[in-house]
Structure 1
Amino acid sequence: MIEFKNVCFTYNGGEEKDGIKDFNLTIHKGETLLITGGSGCGKTTVTRLINGLIPHFFESNLTGEVLIHGKNISDEPIYHTSKYVGSVFQNPRSQFFNVDTTSELAFAPENQGIAIAEISNRINKTVSDFNLHSLMDRSIFELSGGEKQKIACASVSVAKSEIIVLDEPSSNLDIAAIEDLRKMISHWKKEGRTVIIAEHRLYFMRELADRMILMSDGKIVEELSAEEIRSLTIGESKKRGIRPLSIKNLSYSNDYVHHSTSFIELSDLRYTYKDKIHRIGIHDIKIKKGSVVAVIGHNGAGKSTFAKCLCGLEKKCKGILEVEGKKCAVKKGLNYSYMIMQDVNHQLFTESVMDEILLSMSDKVTVTDEEKEKQSEEILKSLDLLSLKEKHPMALSGGQKQRVAIASAIAAEKSIILFDEPTSGLDYRHMHKVADCIKDLSKAGKTIFVITHDLELILHCCTDVIHLEQGMLKETYNLNQESIERLKSFFLECFEQTS
């Protein structure tokens, strides 16, 4: 059905470090193919060649052939390709054309000239298949990340795309939303659709993938069958430099013990949303200085709001923050805190990676420009970014942008650093680099709060857990060999059959 014949591709303007080289691949009808590998290995390029974004949208140098149903994708207008290839992007907001959910589901078949009655039938069936009744006739802007991803997937289903391409669809999802995504892919698989997923996070695909290809430097370096995928151990995954195919047997690997006698304390934290229904209410949280605290909870638990309140971004939030014996209103938290957002595009402002780091040092009036630049280079080197210091931040991959934001947080030298999903879109190697960086910050006396759905990250670098549900503190505990089963049970509850 899909054939790559001696394809070589490089980007004009250097959006990615490399494209693909001498690439040959056949994807069979009805196959579910998982593509993985390190950042910049060429996964996204493969998906763009299938859905026609290359060469029709990205300026490029392309040789060889990409054939779908025997037709060269380069010779087909993209509107024709879209009739049988549907795409779900890492950030679903980038593919929406309407402001309400029902209109978004109708958009593709309307543009294909499908009869109104047929469109209505398709929407009703998709809503029923995926249990989306509560999401219909809703504003796109009011949806959570997981809900937006559901609408993007549903749009592909309504369009009846026989080929579905997903580019890192789980990177910004919580565990419940990942399970919903897994069910959608399973549904497409049963319908006989061809599904291609480029991913770093692999465990939810363990029972679904018919084949997995591992890429490096734009080439396929290994191909695994469904049986080989399911038998792959954590150690074997580690040797290949990929995320594990199972999270059940992950172990706690953070042996750092901090001996600080100082504390960060948050008391009487209260915040009410505009709807007057949803709220956050936390009586008291006391954390040792230098701790790395995982903030966990289901979708809507209040994790991101908690973080925004803690660092003073919600000015109507009430509460007291005490840092090293000094008390202040929690709305003054910006004096002590630095937050890295989940969508880092909102906090990258300058023309180069180096300037982005120097911007965070602008308050250091007693440090010379030469010293600032030297410190910036050391930070960039620690995060494998030094070679990109002259690049524009918006020309980087998602994982690279994330690391630039982390580098900016390090440069700001605040007492408290908050990370909102710091490893979304990161491969195995860079996830561990971020984890090691977080541990180094902890050893330097920084107190870290990490909002995350990445169990592997937590087990690698966190010392404590705060569990929130429905805006309330469910429990808090130190992380050690005895308590990890409590943590793992939270992550495994949706995946007992698939992990």
Structure 2
Amino acid sequence: MKRKQRMIEIDNVSFQYDDAFEQLSNVSLTVYEGECVVVTGPSGSGKTTLTRMVNGLIPNHYEGRLTGSVRLREQDVSGMAAWDFGRLVGSVFQDSRSQFFAAVVEEEIAFSGENYGMDPAEIRARVDRLAAESQLTALLKQEVHRLSSGEKQKVAVASACLADPELFVMDEPSANLDMAATRQLADRLAALKRSGKTILIAEHRLYYLLPLADRIVYMQDGEIQAEWTPAQLTALAPEEWRRLGLRSPVVRAPSVPAFGGTRAQERLALDRAAIAPGRLKPAVLEDIRFSVGQGEIAAIVGPNGAGKTTLAKTICGLLKERAGTVAMDAQPLKAKDRLRRTWFVLQDSDYQLFSDSVLNELLLTHEREEDAAERAESLLRELDLWAFRDRHPASLSGGQKQRLTFAVGLMNRPELLVLDEPTSGLDGRNMRRVVKLIRQMADTGVTILVITHDYELLFGACDRLLFFQGHRLQADLEITERNGDAVLRLMETLEPIE
């Protein structure tokens, strides 16, 4: 039997970013040719830093103090030029925007092939094939910046595959994908593995990877602390998953009742509303009619690109409705009036962070409130961010930034709070913290809309599910034990319930 070659060898590596605490401490890991290895663990545990060691971003882009050695196919990466990594490694980053070079989808997918001088006819054929496999064919002429977050992630994966590298390194590739798109990603990864590719994935969502993972490596505090096969991981008790800060590795509807029930006094109502992303753009949602009560938590669900974020921006007054009315407390309001009574926590957290420290981010515009410092400390402690209070927000991990923008939203105490994928980059422990705070906020009378693909968040926090597809509101379901299986089936298939 032929012995498998070592594709990745990380030997006793420690790394510290400039002016930061040590991110990796004496890490050793070997990944063999054709393996799929999943790296998981709490936010800030060093997963992303580990992937950067392998795809060359450290030290070619991120500088710091590095000890130990990293080898790819027995070649020390310290002797590799930056462009050599692109031939060997296909990368998908947590924030897909940071890896785009071209303005149009087909040009972005083709970029690596053009960069390495591939034959134009071969590039064209590969772009068409990858677009078809990723359900991107209809978007090839679209501008990348106009895509939804999930669509951008699909483009990033297709781009990584174009040059046909031997090794794929991915950092939370499912973070912005709905469950149906995540299953498609799993199928794509399975095909890559069958073709002999090696895959290293840092990920919080584990359920879709267990059928193809050879090993799951658990990191905490910059160290590898455990390693399991998929069977060993699923054999752990749920209490152990929670203790380790992991998300559930199996998908199932909860066996306990959720929160659906009698609706409170109406807080928000849309009547025959048409929603568009701009004055000259076609409507993405039409004839929308629904209402949400005071203190109610409603999940906004639908496939990537269905118009969920555009709807949320319109409700908050960041966009004007094309037709119909948006009312609060039975009073139709113009967009500018809704702005004063709502708060929108964006999915892209970098767009909402302005201050020079984590603590000051929460205190911004609240300096004259007597209880501001006390409330800010309480929120930061609840979200496990108090230890970072003096850090600049830009220095936080993706999951930490996500929790910080959520805390800013809670700090403002609006009448209506809209959260766009608030748990997209969070581990299990912090996801459950966010669930707890959402419920506490609703108990004070705040109405909350949550755009989410996260079934654990939906079942843990939400009262109702509003499902949008094909320009319409297709389903309005209470989230109860009786409806649990139907809700989960809708989340997994994104097909209206008959």
Regarding TM over 0.5, the answer is yes
Of 284, 290, 295, 1:285 maps to 290
Bigger mean CA offset, 112-121 vs 213-222 = 112-121
Q: 1:318 to 1:103 in 2, by over 3 A?
A: closer
CA distance in structure 2 between the partners assigned to 1:152 and 1:142 by the alignment = 14
| 1:315 aligned residue | 320
Is 1:74–2:74 an aligned residue pair?
no
Task: Give, as a single letter, the amino acid of the residue that structure 2 aligns with 1:23.
Answer: V
Q: Does 1:33 align with 2:6?
A: no
Aligned to 1:49: 53
User: Could you report, residue by residue, the CA deviation over 1:121-151 in whole angstroms, capped at 9, with x for unpaired residues?
Assistant: 5445544555543333432233332332222
- Once the 2 structures are TM-superposed, how far is the Cα of residue 342 of structure 1 from its aligned partner? 0.9
The 5 Å alignment of 1:72-471 reads 72-127=76-131, 129-130=133-134, 132-229=136-233, 231=235, 234-252=238-256, 254=258, 260-261=264-265, 263-272=267-276, 277-329=282-334, 332-361=337-366, 367-368=369-370, 371-471=371-471
Measured against aligned partners, the alpha-carbon deviations of 1:347-388 in whole angstroms (never above 9, x if no partner) come to: 1122222222122426xx5x34xx422332222222222222
| Equivalent position SS for 1:19 | strand
Letter in 2 for 1:420: D
- Is the Cα–Cα contact under 8 Å of residues 254 and 481 in structure 2 kept in the other structure? no
Q: Distance in 1 between matches of 2:18 and 2:60?
A: 13
| Counterpart contact for 1:293–1:450, Cα < 8 Å | yes
Identity percentage over the alignment?
A: 35
Which amino acid in structure 1 is aligned with residue 8 of structure 2? I
Alpha-carbon spacing, 1:336–1:109, altered in 2? closer, same or farther (3 Å): same
Compared with structure 1, are the counterparts of its residues 131 and 417 closer, same or farther at alpha carbon in structure 2 (3 Å cutoff)? closer
The answer on whether the counterparts of 2:269 and 2:292 sit within 8 Å (CA) in structure 1 is yes
After TM superposition, give the deviation of residue 405 of structure 1 in Å.
1.1
- CA change 1:288–1:140 in 2 (3 A) is closer
CA distance 1:130–1:310, change in 2 (3 Å): closer
The one-letter amino acid paired with 2:53 is: L
Which deviates more, 150-159 or 198-207?
150-159
Alignment RMSD (CA, Å): 2.5
2:94 and 2:175 in contact (8 A); partners too: yes
| Deviation (angstroms), 1:390 | 1.8
Q: For residues 128 and 316 of structure 1, do their structure 2 counterparts lie closer, same or farther at Cα, with a shift above 3 Å needed?
A: closer
Q: 1:22 to 1:253 in 2, by over 3 A?
A: farther
SS at structure 2 position matched to 1:149:
helix
Unaligned 5+ segments in structure 1 are none
Change (3 A) 1:24 1:433: same
Q: SS where residue 378 of structure 1 aligns?
A: helix
Q: Size of the alignment, in residue pairs?
A: 488
State the one-letter code of the partner of 1:279: V
Separation of aligned partners in 1, 2:101 and 2:358: 31
Q: After the TM superposition, which segments of 4 or more aligned residues of structure 1 sit over 6 Å from their partners?
A: 256-259
CA distance in 2, matches of 1:489, 1:261: 30
**Deviation at residue 281 of structure 1 after TM alignment:** 2.8
Distance in 1, matches of 2:387 and 2:234, equals 37
Instruction: Output the amino acid matched with 2:147.
Output: L
Structure 1 residues 267 and 127, CA, compared in 2 at 3 Å: closer, same or farther? closer
Instruction: Tell me how far apart the structure 2 counterparts of residues 477 and 123 of structure 1 sit (CA, whole Å).
Output: 40
Question: Any gaps of 5 or more consecutive residues in structure 2?
Answer: 1-6
Q: 1:47 to 1:253 in 2, by over 3 A?
A: farther
Given that 1:233 and 1:245 are in contact with CA atoms closer than 8 Å, whether structure 2 keeps it comes out as no
